Amino acid sequence: MTKLIIILSLISNVLGLNINNQVVDNSLKEAIIFNPTSTPLMQNVYPEITSEPIVINKALRAGVLAKNYILMDLKSNEILAKSHEHSRVPIASTTKIMTASVALENYNLDDVVTVSQKAAAQIGSDSRLIAGEKMTVRNLLNCMLIVSGNDAAYALAEHYSGGVEGFVDLMNKKAASLNMADSHYLDPAGLSPDGYSSAYDLSIIARYALKNSVFASIVGTAETTVDNVEGTRHHDLKNSNRLVNDYDYPGAIGVKTGYIPEAGHCLVGAAKRNSTTLIAVILNTNYDDVTASALEARKLLDYGFENYRFQ
């Protein structure tokens, strides 16, 4: 019936016959409404309503000077910019995002940890912990995430009943549960160049970790001081993330810096403006400078906020 009405309408238009269009339209509507097996003539006429970001300026590229990067909208998980985002590369201290996540899920914040000689002797960035010092898990998380203390990372891992090896195994199991297919951890601090992840996987763990209010509060802290349990030693902590600290980037909320020679300068950065949160992952910048990862992360975040509108 529907097909017949349409054919008659087309024939009338071709021959110039004066058939009332309104009659045809009404007949067509009735045929569709009362025939449950009929198919609407025009499908997907109206765009699907989604929460995905909409391009504003149609910028061609972000122009980021790093070998691997990704920019992602936290709410929609939409990727706004990327380059070699699945390449498996060393990630240095951005490893500590996973270390913190595992610690938060397996310890109480008020648990007391005794710092070992091995933990206190870790090379690279540290929070000046000494062997025998007693620290709460909460304060070790501050030391690890704010100043990127390798000593604090090992102290947290050693506190696990299975030791460092068992703790790292938990890190890898957590990665698997989050479908981080590009990742394999070998130590809690990211000192091993043989451990690896990808820009994409780091965006996954960053999104996951930021859901924890304790983690989010710590990584967004510019400066603070924590004490050992006895109150005999004070640790002044200034955030190594220049987006949060020196640059005071608008809306910056974290997340974690990293550097070893094999990984280059790395940063997982995040910023929130109004109801929009963007995560920018920078791995191995094209130039060797202590400010490189923050400058490129800032550029990537600027690109996102300036070129997309979020519903």
CATH code for the domain of 162: 3.40.710.10
User: Do 162 and 18 sit in the same domain of this protein?
Assistant: no
Residues with a known catalytic role: 93, 96, 148
pLDDT interval class at 309 (50, 70, 90): confident
User: Do 20 and 142 sit in the same domain of this protein?
Assistant: no
Both tokens of 296, joined, read: 């490129």
pLDDT of residue 4: 47
User: Do 84 and 174 sit in the same domain of this protein?
Assistant: yes
- Number of separate domains in the chain: 2
pLDDT in tens, 67-82: 999 999 999 899 999 9
Top pLDDT among 117 and 20 is at 117
pLDDT of 35 > 80? The answer is no
User: Do 125 and 190 sit in the same domain of this protein?
Assistant: yes
Kindly state whether residue 269 falls inside one of the protein's structural domains: yes
pLDDT interval class at 87 (50, 70, 90): very high
Provide the percentage of residues in the chain whose pLDDT is more than 90.
77
User: Do 137 and 219 sit in the same domain of this protein?
Assistant: yes
User: Across residues 286-298, what is the average pLDDT?
Assistant: 95
User: Do 153 and 194 sit in the same domain of this protein?
Assistant: yes
Kindly state whether residue 273 falls inside one of the protein's structural domains: yes
pLDDT interval class at 181 (50, 70, 90): very high
User: Do 71 and 171 sit in the same domain of this protein?
Assistant: yes
User: Do 96 and 235 sit in the same domain of this protein?
Assistant: yes
From the list 125, 129, 130, 123, the residue with the least C-alpha distance to 147 is 125
Top pLDDT among 226 and 10 is at 226
Kindly state whether residue 42 falls inside one of the protein's structural domains: no
Determine the structural domain holding residue 279 and report its residue range. Answer: 54-309
Provide the percentage of residues in the chain whose pLDDT is more than 70.
80
Kindly state whether residue 70 falls inside one of the protein's structural domains: yes
User: Do 124 and 23 sit in the same domain of this protein?
Assistant: no
For the whole model, what pTM was predicted? 0.82
Kindly state whether residue 47 falls inside one of the protein's structural domains: no
Q: Which of 27-41, 43-57, 127-141 is most confident?
A: 127-141
What's phi and psi for 255, nearest 5 deg?
-130, -60
From the list 213, 222, 211, the residue with the least C-alpha distance to 252 is 222
Q: Which residues pair with 256 in a beta bridge?
A: 268
Q: How far apart are CA 227 and CA 235, in angstroms?
A: 6
Kindly state whether residue 41 falls inside one of the protein's structural domains: no
User: Do 145 and 16 sit in the same domain of this protein?
Assistant: no
Q: Which residues pair with 72 in a beta bridge?
A: 79, 279
pLDDT of residue 43: 38
Kindly state whether residue 222 falls inside one of the protein's structural domains: yes
Q: How far apart are CA 123 and CA 193, in angstroms?
A: 14
Kindly state whether residue 209 falls inside one of the protein's structural domains: yes
pLDDT in tens, 199-240: 999 999 999 999 999 999 999 999 999 999 999 999 999 999
